[in-house]
A and B are shown apart, each in its own frame.
Chain A
């Protein structure tokens, strides 16, 4: 009920706003017309400059309240920020639990704060038709630090591909990383490896060898996986995503109904690719040799954790947090001498490469902000806080000499002796985020690889260093769909995904022989696979023609 009426209203608002915009004319593009909106702005603001408003300013902001570090108005972060930039926030405090819903209502009602951080693509798309948010791409010339990093790290293609709308503009200022940050991989029992005298696997084929060696010690499967209850895939979705990266297709968490085929420079349907078939054949071989627990695709996470934690299975999908908090903790308690580590992601036919996005959640800006006489100052401020090295350092680690020492460039950055964050400095009594307001997800994300490295434990740093060696594969080209196309493809894609998931599971578990692959592909065709891919390819051509 609420959903429907909200959407209807957004549509109606959109109509009104579009009408109003037509009346305004189209002269407000770029920098020239902003002459009367420069109050408080710096005349010269460039890369590396400290932003400081020429008079005290206050900007309204949607302030996400994370119960892990509940919002406090008197955080050192805010006082230091005001000291450095002459800017104060007027926050609307929104509980993390329902942040998106309140944002929807406030934007829909035309009552949103100017700055709305923590917005994940594509949720900004719902606001575009209503004209409630600013096409930020028109104003990035006010943001030297953002432009600098986008250019330096070659991120423009990714922004185009992922964020640009059919009108050639984007509406979300994304958080940007210098390199893809991968966390998920597999965890493996190192004491078992030592006992068997084998090396940790580096490829999927080596994994088969290792699992075969482990088989006699396992009860009864050496690999029993988890993450089966979260979409999109048929089960063991982390492992499938990991595999599909190595095989250059899409599966599990990485599933999407289209995949860029670099050989033909066309979008193809991943569930019908030969690569996908090879992936299924690999998993089928693990299951049929009884190296992988068939329950991997259906069991609850807790069951999988239990099998690993009690020493029945030796290999499981992992991220840094689960490795320390679940696997290692359980092993220490229940299996004497059990040790576990997260190994670099396994390689397949694609070799030492990786894929992934370097964009993060970001900021949308209320259209109303553009009418403010402080608009230019606000954009400069956003640029400084979220995109300059100095701003990012302040937001993440705080104040040199007080909350941290050393510096990012030579890797010497350390928390002050009395400050802790996520167990990096366990003896610290004060919490960097709870007590000071630094390392707050609203303000601190993205940045250079060196900057990211400062937050890892030595163990995780090793994993990250290994992953940094892998070459990043180029991202797929931009192909924004129109609203109609989006609706139609979503319908097709849902039916297709269901079929792919069901049949994939059957192929993997051996309930359907892979000799029936061609029949399966024709089943997909019957579910509009070709039409779906056609829409994506046409959209790519159209975008190239109009904006390429």
Chain B
């Protein structure tokens, strides 16, 4: 967040310096830098703390003595989690579910949003109404389960993909974005003989990279972190995503409900399983962020130019 806000300012600042920045502006820059650095530290420290906890030993964690550097370096929990073949099967599932579900969700949401953005479309109000209705009223847990079950989707990837394929909030964001594109562009394409699909694919989508990137990220994070649908509709361990696996580990380790976990080993796992879980699940999706970030920036620039 911090970097996104800071970057567009950079070229401006350089230009100013060429013209000899005023004293007041230099003071502002310093103060600004200090404040933003503070924000950066505040944002990063919890992550650093989590990472050092994940490598610390139970003794120091329980005593509350781990802050920003691992104490009593220990990888028991990592080893316990990562040496389990089931964890990797489940991790693979997470990747498959995330990629598959994001793909389907993007196609469906884009199509729906594009249609809804056309103000001349008859019945548009009804289509929007249908979407909005699901935002305020849900069928409830058990009816959903019955539906998914009788469609034969249980224990398949479709149970995860289909019920969540269109998120109404994201749909509305996309619709608003499409509506903000100049109508003239599409009219020009139509004059040149482009039909609706060609216009969407070759004119509208290339201009919408910013919103597409945002949506991909939103959906991917949503599916990556989701555990409930998988937990509900999957009846076999080898179909679970990593989130369900780790959630079960956390609860098992922290309740210590049976005597098997009453060893040093169990205590160690109990002490930092949460931190390890955060590292293992959050890191991969965080690594995707930098690659998508430039589209955010271009989105910001796009708005700036038009404004």
In this assembly, does A67 line the interface, its C-beta being within 8 Å of a C-beta of chain B?
yes
Pick from B142, B146, B245, B253 the residue with the most CB of A within 10 Å: B142
Cα distance A104–B227 in the bound complex, in angstroms: 17
Q: Which residues of B contact A68 (CB under 8 A)?
A: 252, 257-258, 260-261, 266
Q: Which residues of B contact A96 (CB under 8 A)?
A: 248, 251-252, 257
B231 touches A434 (CB 8 A): no
Cα distance A169–B12 in the bound complex, in angstroms: 80
In this assembly, does B141 line the interface, its C-beta being within 8 Å of a C-beta of chain A?
yes
Please encode chain B, from 123 to 154, with 1 for each CB lying within 8 Å of some chain A CB and 0 for all others.
00000000000000011111101100100000
In this assembly, does B3 line the interface, its C-beta being within 8 Å of a C-beta of chain A?
no
A70 touches B263 (CB 8 A): no
8 Å CB contact of B141 from A6, A422, A441: A6
Which residue of chain A has the shortest Cβ distance to B84 in the bound complex?
A70
Contact A422-B260, Cβ < 8 Å, known A92-B235, A95-B247, A105-B141: yes
Q: Which residues of B contact A67 (CB under 8 A)?
A: 248-249, 251-253
Cα distance A159–B260 in the bound complex, in angstroms: 30
Chain B min CB distance to A378 (Å):
20
8 Å CB contact of A69 from B231, B249, B260: B260
Interface SS of B by simple majority: helix
Please encode chain A, from 1 to 37, with 1 for each CB lying within 8 Å of some chain B CB and 0 for all others.
1100110111000000000000000000000000000
8 Å CB contact of A102 from B139, B231, B249: B231
In this assembly, does A518 line the interface, its C-beta being within 8 Å of a C-beta of chain B?
no
Cα distance A94–B232 in the bound complex, in angstroms: 9
Which residue of chain A has the shortest Cβ distance to B234 in the bound complex?
A93
Pick from B145, B237, B244, B251 the residue with the most CB of A within 10 Å: B237
Q: Which residues of A contact B263 (CB under 8 A)?
A: 422-423
In this assembly, does A65 line the interface, its C-beta being within 8 Å of a C-beta of chain B?
yes
Cα distance A5–B263 in the bound complex, in angstroms: 42
Q: Which residues of A contact B62 (CB under 8 A)?
A: 302
Cα distance A9–B258 in the bound complex, in angstroms: 34
Please encode chain A, from 83 to 102, with 1 for each CB lying within 8 Å of some chain B CB and 0 for all others.
00000000111111110001
Cα distance A67–B245 in the bound complex, in angstroms: 8
In this assembly, does B306 line the interface, its C-beta being within 8 Å of a C-beta of chain A?
no
Q: Which of B201-260 contact A (CB under 8 A)?
A: 231-232, 235-237, 240, 244-245, 247-253, 256-260
Chain B min CB distance to A452 (Å):
13
Q: Which residues of A contact B232 (CB under 8 A)?
A: 102, 105
Q: Which of A89-130 contact B (CB under 8 A)?
A: 91-98, 102, 105-106, 108-111
B237 touches A65 (CB 8 A): yes
Q: How large is the interface on A (under 10, 10 to 19, 20 to 34, 35 or more residues)?
A: 35 or more
In this assembly, does A71 line the interface, its C-beta being within 8 Å of a C-beta of chain B?
yes
Chain B min CB distance to A53 (Å):
24
Which residue of chain B has the shortest Cβ distance to A6 in the bound complex?
B141
A9 touches B260 (CB 8 A): no
Chain B min CB distance to A425 (Å):
13
In this assembly, does A66 line the interface, its C-beta being within 8 Å of a C-beta of chain B?
yes
In this assembly, does B172 line the interface, its C-beta being within 8 Å of a C-beta of chain A?
no
Pick from A70, A97, A109 the residue with the most CB of B within 10 Å: A97
8 Å CB contact of A422 from B143, B237, B247, B259: B259
In this assembly, does B267 line the interface, its C-beta being within 8 Å of a C-beta of chain A?
yes
A325 touches B262 (CB 8 A): yes
In this assembly, does A202 line the interface, its C-beta being within 8 Å of a C-beta of chain B?
no
Q: Which of B26-46 contact A (CB under 8 A)?
A: none
Q: Which of A432-484 contact B (CB under 8 A)?
A: 433-434, 439, 441
B262 touches A93 (CB 8 A): no
Total interface residues in chain B, CB < 8 Å: 38
Q: Which residues of A contact B235 (CB under 8 A)?
A: 91-94
8 Å CB contact of A97 from B84, B145, B248: B248
Cα distance A96–B266 in the bound complex, in angstroms: 16
Interface SS of A by simple majority: mixed
Q: Which residues of A contact B143 (CB under 8 A)?
A: 5, 9
Cα distance A8–B141 in the bound complex, in angstroms: 11
8 Å CB contact of A93 from B140, B237, B247, B258: B237
Q: Which residues of B contact A9 (CB under 8 A)?
A: 140, 142-143
Which residue of chain A has the shortest Cβ distance to B80 in the bound complex?
A67
Q: Which residues of B contact A439 (CB under 8 A)?
A: 260
Please encode chain A, from 268 to 297, with 1 for each CB lying within 8 Å of some chain B CB and 0 for all others.
000000000000000000000000000000
Chain B min CB distance to A535 (Å):
32
B250 touches A97 (CB 8 A): yes
Cα distance A91–B236 in the bound complex, in angstroms: 8
Which residue of chain A has the shortest Cβ distance to B263 in the bound complex?
A423
Cα distance A130–B256 in the bound complex, in angstroms: 34
Please encode chain B, from 265 to 288, with 1 for each CB lying within 8 Å of some chain A CB and 0 for all others.
011000000000000000000000
A1 touches B138 (CB 8 A): yes
In this assembly, does B86 line the interface, its C-beta being within 8 Å of a C-beta of chain A?
yes
B140 touches A6 (CB 8 A): yes
Please encode chain A, from 384 to 410, with 1 for each CB lying within 8 Å of some chain B CB and 0 for all others.
000000000000000000000000000
8 Å CB contact of B252 from A6, A66, A111, A431: A66
Cα distance A467–B266 in the bound complex, in angstroms: 29
Cα distance A200–B256 in the bound complex, in angstroms: 30
Q: Which of B184-215 contact A (CB under 8 A)?
A: none
Contact A2-B231, Cβ < 8 Å, known A65-B248, A68-B261: no
Cα distance A65–B261 in the bound complex, in angstroms: 14
Which residue of chain B has the shortest Cβ distance to A434 in the bound complex?
B260
B262 touches A422 (CB 8 A): yes
Cα distance A249–B146 in the bound complex, in angstroms: 47
Please encode chain A, from 299 to 317, with 1 for each CB lying within 8 Å of some chain B CB and 0 for all others.
0001000000000000000
8 Å CB contact of A421 from B251, B260, B267: B260
Chain B min CB distance to A175 (Å):
14
Cα distance A541–B269 in the bound complex, in angstroms: 51
A66 touches B258 (CB 8 A): yes
Q: Which residues of A contact B86 (CB under 8 A)?
A: 70
In this assembly, does A321 line the interface, its C-beta being within 8 Å of a C-beta of chain B?
yes
Chain B min CB distance to A102 (Å):
7
B260 touches A431 (CB 8 A): yes
Cα distance A65–B245 in the bound complex, in angstroms: 10
Q: Which residues of A contact B250 (CB under 8 A)?
A: 97
Cα distance A70–B240 in the bound complex, in angstroms: 13
Cα distance A195–B72 in the bound complex, in angstroms: 35
In this assembly, does A335 line the interface, its C-beta being within 8 Å of a C-beta of chain B?
no
Q: A67-B252, A93-B236, A111-B146 are in contact. List 14 more A-B contacts (CB 8 A).
A: A9-B140, A67-B248, A67-B249, A68-B266, A95-B231, A95-B240, A95-B245, A95-B251, A96-B257, A97-B251, A98-B231, A105-B232, A109-B149, A111-B145
Subset of 11 A-B contacts with CB under 8 Å: A5-B138, A5-B139, A5-B140, A6-B141, A66-B252, A67-B249, A91-B235, A96-B251, A108-B145, A302-B64, A423-B262
